[in-house]
Structure formats: structure tokens, C-alpha cells
């Protein structure tokens, strides 16, 4: 009885699989971040069924395809040739052939090439079939445990310090958890900038080497992050997702008080300090004026 069920489930799967093989479509296929077992059965079936596989780095993807026995022909599709790759893919689809799109790891189009290919395929009127699967941002988010109801995916910040700080300024007021990708050689300077621009008391989650042997997920206030990382050289190795809690009312109050104190310490009159703080943080001027008077009294 049990065998019969398994068999009928299997034949159902094979039927679906045959249907897919016949229809020209672009399949967007996520691949593991580091743990081969995270490649889904549907991803394996798709990669084994399609005629063509467009890969960010064909040399990187070849061993994975060999491992699952996929024999599709490869097309290089990286950030420097995405438009030409898109045109090739559209031509294959027009000839009635199936194509899968993969990146080196995780989900194509998420801080990876893919968006321009998808747009070209849609513009040409062909079907796009996305498969769910590994993505560093969502993997980190589900283990973050932050109270934010929303999240905002930033991906990589600019490498240059000035541009990075400017980008952080534009994110400071968002009432949503901020999700960043960062390279190990830049993680310290990025966290330092985040503490200054976003406010050191915000909660941070550092998710490193997700799904891999040395996976670690650490939570702390932003202001403590660099000390924690520097305390052990191993903590600076590998791949990082950084998640910073959003600008809640509590953070706003803390930010306003911090800015107000700085301006008062610099010798600005109470009225002017309150006005400037209101402009910088968006907090109410009257409340800041009252807070400034009480801070002056305490001083
Ligand atoms: N498309 C991928 C995805 O779906 O997550 C992201 C590709 S992006 C070029 C690579 C960045 O993703 C890394 O620099 C790191 O910030 C993050 N990342 C990838 N794998 C990771 C892992 N195993 N642990 C933590 N972060 C990871």
C-alpha cells in the first residue's frame, strides 16, 4: 500500500516534469549558499530537464551540474554581458527551448545578475517561472528575531566611505529592519559608519557563513559590534549578512537626545539647538526645547 502511494507520487512528479520540459520558459533557479543539501528536488528536476543553463560563472556552476547529472549546455550570463546573454536566451525561448538561470550561490537577481535577463525575457513575451530557494537575506532574517514588522533589503552599500555614509543617511529614518550584505574586508568600517549614522544603540544581528560549517549568528547593540568581531580573528572570516533594527520611536528619542546634547555641548543656545535637532531628526521642536531646558538645568 505504502509502496503504491510512493509510486503514484513518483509518477505524478515525472508527469509534471515532462510538462515543464515541453514548455519554453525561463526558470529562475536558486542554488545553495554553502550546503549542497539545500538544493531542492524541484531545482534538481528543472536543471536536469532544461536544454540550456545560463550561469553567472560557468566554471563555478559546472561541478554542481555534474553532481546532479545535468547535461544542459551552458551560457555565460554575468554582470558584464547580461544584455547579450538576455538576447541569446530570448532566441532559445523563441525556438521553443527551455532555459534555467542560476547565479554562483543563492537566488539570481538578489545582489546578483539576473534582473536584466528576466526583463528581456518578459519583454519578448515568454514565461518566467521562479523557484523558491536559498537566499542569504531571508535565511538571516528568519534567525534574527528582531521585533520589526517590516524589513528593507539594502544589499551592498557603496565601497567608498563618503558614499556609504550618504547611503546610510538616506536609510536612517526608515521604520523597518535594514538588511545588508557585506564583504569581510569592509565589515569593520561599515559597522563603524552604521553606529555613527544610524545610532549605536540599535540592535544588530551579524549572520556569518550561513548554512556552512562555521555558521554563526550573533546579536548585540551596533556600538558593541566591532569589539565583538575584533575579539576573535575567525569572526572576521567568511560571508556576512548584517541586519540593523529599524528606526523605532525609541531610537528616534535616543537619536534626538544625542544630537541635542551634542549641539548644547558645542555651546549653541537652547532655542537654536532645539530647532536644529528638530530639522535633523524630525522630532517635535517644542518637546526638544523642553528637553534642552531640562538638560541645561541638569548640567
Ligand atoms: N544572490 C545571493 C543571495 O540570494 O543571497 C547573494 C549574492 S551576493 C553576490 C553575495 C553576498 O551574499 C555575500 O557577500 C554575503 O554578504 C551574502 N552571502 C552569501 N552567502 C552567504 C552566507 N552563506 N552567509 C552569509 N552571507 C552570505
Mean pLDDT of 102-110: 98
Q: Is 83 helix (H, G, I), strand (E, B) or coil?
A: helix
Do 117 and 177 have their domain in common? no
Do 105 and 171 have their domain in common? no
Enumerate the β-bridge partners of residue 99.
26, 52
Do 116 and 13 have their domain in common? yes
Report CA(84)–ligand 1 centroid distance (Å): 25
Atom of ligand 1 nearest to the CA of 140: 25
Do 174 and 283 have their domain in common? no
Number of domains the chain contains: 3
pLDDT tens-digit profile of 197-237?
Answer: 999 999 999 999 999 999 999 999 999 999 999 999 999 99
Protein residue closest via CA to atom 19 of ligand 1:
136
The burial class, CB within 10 Å (0-12 / 13-18 / 19+), for 76 is middle
Could you identify the residue written with the cell 569572526? Answer: 235
135 lines ligand 1 (CB under 6 A): yes
Sign of CA dihedral 176, 102, 21, 35: negative
Do 86 and 110 have their domain in common? yes
Higher pLDDT, 12 or 190: 190
Cell of 152: 528593507
180 lines ligand 1 (CB under 6 A): no
Dist CA 50 CA 133 (whole Å)? 18
133, 160, 189 — which closes off a domain?
133
Do 65 and 124 have their domain in common? yes
Do 234 and 256 have their domain in common? no
pLDDT at 93 over 80: yes
Paired sense of beta strands 25-28 and 99-102, if any: parallel
Mean pLDDT of 97-114: 98
Mean pLDDT of 148-154: 97
- Is this model's pTM higher than 0.75 or not? yes
Do 112 and 235 have their domain in common? no
Instruction: Sheet with 99-102: list strands edge to edge.
Output: 73-76, 52-55, 99-102, 25-28, 127-130
Dist CA 211 CA 205 (whole Å)? 16
- Is 101:30 a contact under the CB 8 Å cutoff? no
Do 36 and 123 have their domain in common? yes
33 lines ligand 1 (CB under 6 A): yes
Segment among 7-11, 75-79, 177-181 with least mean pLDDT:
7-11
133, 166, 190 — which closes off a domain?
133
Do 142 and 222 have their domain in common? yes
Percent of the chain predicted with pLDDT > 70: 91
Mean pLDDT of 28-38: 98
pLDDT at 249 over 80: no
Do 120 and 169 have their domain in common? no
| Residue span of the structural domain in which 70 resides | 2-133
The confidence score (pLDDT) of residue 16 equals: 41
CATH number at residue 242: 3.30.950.10
Pocket test for ligand 1, best of 29, 115, 151, 239 (most atoms within 8 A of CB): 239
Q: How far is CA 96 from CA 29, 85, 89, in A?
A: 19, 17, 11
56 lines ligand 1 (CB under 6 A): no
Atom of ligand 1 nearest to the CA of 155: 16
204, 231, 247 — which closes off a domain?
247
CATH number at residue 89: 3.40.1010.10
Q: Give kind and range of the element (H or E) at residue 181.
A: strand 177-182
Do 119 and 154 have their domain in common? no
Amino acid at each position: 500500500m505504502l509502496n503504491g502511494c510512493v509510486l503514484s507520487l513518483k509518477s505524478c512528479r515525472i508527469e509534471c516534469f515532462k510538462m515543464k520540459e515541453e514548455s519554453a520558459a525561463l526558470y529562475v533557479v536558486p542554488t545553495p549558499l554553502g550546503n549542497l543539501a539545500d538544493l531542492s528536488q524541484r531545482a534538481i528536476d528543472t536543471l536536469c530537464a532544461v536544454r540550456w543553463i545560463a550561469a553567472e560563472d560557468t566554471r563555478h556552476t559546472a561541478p554542481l551540474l555534474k553532481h546532479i547529472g545535468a547535461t544542459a549546455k551552458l551560457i555565460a550570463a554575468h554582470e558584464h554581458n547580461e544584455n547579450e546573454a538576455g538576447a541569446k536566451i530570448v532566441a532559445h525561448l523563441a525556438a521553443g527551448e527551455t532555459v534555467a538561470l542560476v547565479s554562483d550561490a543563492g537566488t539570481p537577481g538578489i545582489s546578483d545578475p539576473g534582473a536584466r535577463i528576466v526583463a528581456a525575457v518578459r519583454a519578448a513575451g515568454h514565461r518566467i517561472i521562479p523557484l523558491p530557494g536559498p537566499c542569504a537575506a531571508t535565511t538571516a532574517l528568519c534567525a534574527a528575531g528582531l521585533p520589526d514588522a517590516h524589513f528593507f533589503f539594502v544589499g551592498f552599500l557603496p565601497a567608498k566611505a563618503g558614499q556609504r555614509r550618504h547611503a546610510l543617511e538616506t536609510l536612517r529614518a526608515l521604520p523597518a529592519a535594514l538588511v545588508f550584505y557585506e564583504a569581510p574586508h569592509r565589515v569593520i568600517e561599515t559597522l563603524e559608519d552604521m553606529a555613527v549614522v544610524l545610532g549605536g544603540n540599535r540592535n544588530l544581528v551579524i549572520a556569518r557563513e550561513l548554512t556552512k560549517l562555521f555558521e554563526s549568528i550573533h546579536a548585540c547593540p551596533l556600538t558593541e559590534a566591532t569589539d565583538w568581531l575584533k575579539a576573535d580573528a575567525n569572526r572576521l572570516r567568511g560571508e556576512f549578512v548584517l541586519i540593523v533594527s529599524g528606526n523605532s520611536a525609541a531610537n528616534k528619542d535616543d537619536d534626538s537626545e544625542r544630537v541635542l546634547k551634542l549641539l548644547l555641548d558645542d555651546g549653541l543656545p537652547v532655542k537654536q539647538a532645539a530647532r536644529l535637532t528638530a530639522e535633523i531628526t524630525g522630532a517635535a521642536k517644542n518637546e526638544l526645547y523642553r528637553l534642552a531646558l531640562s538638560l541645561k538645568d541638569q548640567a
